[in-house]
Structure 1
Amino acid sequence: MSVEFPSAAAPAGASNRPRVAVLFGGRSSEHSVSCVTAAGVLQAIDTAKYDVVPIGIAKNGQWSLVSADPAQWSLRSATLPEVPASEESVVLSSQDNSRELVAHAPGSLPRSLGRIDVVLPLLHGPFGEDGTLQGLLEMADVRYVGAGVLASAVGMDKHYMKVVFESAGLAVGPYEVITDRQWLRDPQACLDRAGSLAFPLFVKPARAGSSMGITRVTDPAQLPAAIETARLHDPKVVVEAGIVGREIEVAVLQGRGTEDPRTSQPGEIAVQDGGHEWYDFEAKYVDGTAAELSCPADLPPDISAQVRRLAGVAFDAVGGEGLSRVDFFYTPGGELIINEINTMPGFTPISMYPQMWAKSGLPYTELIDELISLALARPTGLR
């Protein structure tokens, strides 16, 4: 289906519709995942209600005005989409809180792309999901969708996330943290600590997502290589003991005004036979038949109610805003152990967050609209 977008260079005030900068790509290893997310949003966003300005961030950090064609940013065969570097860069003006996008090209005068009302930051991983971008937007006095600076930073760091969850009374599985200094100074001590956990282990970069750099380890001899793989994405590594249990997820949406967070029906991921031992990157984004979502999950009514309540507790514990997906393990003994929170979860049409809301009565396009409405109603600064 062809989608038409208003010109990004339309002067401010030319339309009464809110101008939404859809920001995607970025410097992290999840660059392509961000592009795929943008493809879904660009396809579904209500262009009769919003003027959309697609801004891509190349892997070198350059911002530029890019195509609004969703097909350019979707998964096509084996090629992962990527925002290219451009001769023309886009910057967000910091003068007098103008909220103006300005394009710069060598040998040309700067040109205004107009004032924007809100940013929809579809960035995953460091330099986008971790509070850095949120801080920039706060300083520029620009409203944006999703969690603020602190919540984004805590939600990105699997170490401090667990610390916050424990302080809120949530059950957290056994884990060890290996910092860069510890690994370089005494790798054997790190291996001894990690090896004391019950196998299988999951070795993860502390501040990455989309299953990037994660290794499932079944033997101590595999640990050094798994840690080095994680360190390719982040010098800080988290090692988690494998937990026997069903993987249950809940989508959380900020309440309006002073209302409590809203929670979807719980969902359950079932990885199908076909070479995926767990819910890895290929199962999430490439192999469309690798995983199946059951929503609502087949749970006793009291457990369903409890996991939704705990998802709200986790959202509030990190200071969540906008949206989050909260993941739990439901053990054979009936315990709910929190795995993690994602403050900018996968947001393609087939991702679990929008799927759970769709099955809970809020379709994808309406979900995008609700998130933008929440952001427009929220002030920048301390709140």
Structure 2
Amino acid sequence: MTKLKVGVLFGGRSGEHEVSIKSAQAIAKALSTSQNADKYELLPFYIQKNGKWLAGQAPQKVLEAGVPLLEAEDSAANLAVKTTSNIQNSPWQSPSQVAEVDVWFPILHGPNGEDGTVQGLLTLMQAPFVGSGVLGSALGMDKIAMKTAFAQAGLAQVEYVALNRAQIWSNPCIFPKIGDRIEETLGYPCFVKPANLGSSVGIAKVRSRSELETALDRAASLDRRIIVEAAVVGRELECAVLGNDNPKASVVGEITYNSDFYDYETKYTQGKANWVIPAKVPEEIAQQVQEMAVTAFLAVDAAGLARVDFFYEEATGRVLINEINTLPGFTATSMYPQLWENSGISFPELVNQLIQFALERHSTSNQ
């Protein structure tokens, strides 16, 4: 049987470059297991932090070492393709390996990876790929657009105020009115977030007007769209979704931690956060979370995979959706694969199913 060549695309220009490498390592390992090795052949493609695409030995070297490739280690022999920001007056070059790929597995976390940009490129190439398309990826990345879609789907969520950089920076006279609006609508404490960075990057918990102003200024320096959310006293639950037009939900998990909130450091520092899978919640709450997760998945037109995060207020019994992540961390110990491991799907089988869902979606996309 002819093996399908899987192009694993990893690295990228976002702040989650190193996380992407770890995810790609896990996928490469899963493809080499006995249940997948006879079906798939790995073709790795690595995007450096400066935007250069590498094929051949360089990506293998990164996967083996688990650390980014230094620019000094780059060579003309390894250079595969340049992104538009590096093109200048040079032609856009494509390596021969690109034409060999049967299905792509993009595992680029953050901006320029899970926001619809790479998905648009792969769509133009008319190539099947794992995960959401342009629409689902873009909605899943932009917290403001995401919440608009959730509201349309009737999903209960946290109160929020949406802003843009111009509102914060362009007219000093307007800024006090913004603060008044946030205090009246949300109160303190509240969370200030860049709308498009993902993975808790740039998030600040604020408790006063001075902290609010500082956080808004910093968020505006990171993103042109900013969202401010009310704080919720509740347990943080997560649910994984798998599939295309008829997706299924995993068991529900819970995140616990000792820090003030689930920030970037807590998320990616070993030992700072703990998971409970399955979450110790009433069965009716678990079912509600699973139903809402599938509804959210369909609301943004996600595909393949997504992790959906919730708040559960025990005092009121309310379940509020927080956000959807259409390309969650994908190491063997990440929350998304662990939720499926506890639902009866092993990591190698999960990788296999995602590839099959990618092929299925591609084959029916024009019907």
Give me the TM-score of the superposition, normalised by structure 1: 0.83
Aligned to 1:205: 194
Q: Structure 1 residues 45 and 188 mapped into 2: Cα distance closer, same or farther (>3 Å)?
A: farther
Q: Which runs of 5+ in 1 are unaligned?
A: 1-14, 74-80, 93-105
* Residue 306 of structure 1: aligned partner: 288
Q: Following superposition of structure 1 onto structure 2, how do residues 92-107 of structure 1 map, counting pairs within 5 Å?
A: none
- Is this contact kept in 2: 1:27–1:59, CA < 8 A? yes
Aligned residue for 2:251, secondary structure, equals: coil
Q: Are 1:214 and 1:229, in contact at CA under 8 Å, matched by a contact in 2?
A: no
1:78 paired residue number: none
CA–CA distance in structure 2, aligned partners of residues 111 and 53 of structure 1: 12
User: Does the C-alpha gap of structure 1 residues 33 and 111 become closer, same or farther in structure 2, counting only changes over 3 Å?
Assistant: closer
**Residue pairs, 1:322-361, within 5 angstroms:** 322-331=304-313, 332-361=315-344
Q: Secondary structure at the match of 2:309?
A: strand
Is residue 104–residue 128 contact of structure 2 (8 Å, CA) maintained in 1? yes
1:138 pairs, out of 123, 137, 158, with: 123
Q: Does 1:281 align with 2:301?
A: no
Q: 1:377 to 1:175 in 2, by over 3 A?
A: same
Deviation at residue 41 of structure 1 after TM alignment: 1.8
* 1:200-247 deviation line (CA, Å, top 9, x unaligned): 211111001111111111222111221233234312111111111111
Moved more, 214-223 or 149-158: 214-223
Aligned equivalents of 1:123, 1:351: Cα separation in 2: 15
Distance 1:349 1:209 in 2: 20
Tell me, yes or no, if the aligned pair for 1:154 and 1:161 is still in contact at 8 Å.
yes
Number of equivalenced pairs? 340
2:164 to 179, 184, 204: 179
Q: Where do residues 343-382 of structure 1 align in structure 2 (5 Å cutoff)? A: 343-379=326-362, 381-382=365-366
Map 1:225-240; keep pairs closer than 5 Å. 225-240=214-229
**Equivalence for 1:59:** 49
- Cα distance in 1 for partners of 2:176, 2:70 equals 42
Q: CA deviation at 1:198?
A: 2.3
Q: 1:299 to 1:110 in 2, by over 3 A?
A: closer
Quote how far apart the aligned CAs of 1:133 are: 0.8
- SS in structure 2 opposite 1:316? helix
Partner deviation per Cα, 1:23-72 (whole Å, 9 max, x = no partner) = 11112222222222222222332344311111111122211123335342
The residue that corresponds to 2:12 in the other structure is 26
Question: Whole-Å Cα distance in 2 between the matches of residues 110 and 354 of structure 1?
Answer: 33
Q: Are positions 1:72 and 2:65 aligned together? A: yes
Give distance in 2, aligned partners of 1:116 and 1:353. 26
Cα RMSD, aligned residues only? 2.1
Identity %: 43
Query: What residue is the counterpart of 1:167 in the other structure?
Result: 152
Aligned partner (choices 247, 250, 253) of residue 261 of structure 1: 247
Whole-angstrom CA distance in 2 between matches of 1:195 and 1:58? 42
Residues 31 and 41, structure 2, Cα contact 8 Å, conserved in 1 = no
Once the two structures are TM-superposed, the CA of residue 83 in structure 1 deviates from its matched residue by: 4.3
Which structure is higher in helix share?
A: 2
Gaps of 5+ in 2: 83-89
Q: Cα offset for 1:304?
A: 1.0
Cα distance between partner residues in 1 of 2:152 and 2:70: 43
Asked if 1:318 corresponds to 2:300, the answer is yes
Counterpart residue type for residue 24 of structure 2: A
Offset, 1:382: 4.6
For the structure 1 residues 153 and 111, does the alpha-carbon distance in structure 2 shift closer, same or farther, using more than 3 Å as the test? Answer: closer
Shift of 1:124: 1.4
CA distance in 2, matches of 1:306, 1:83: 44
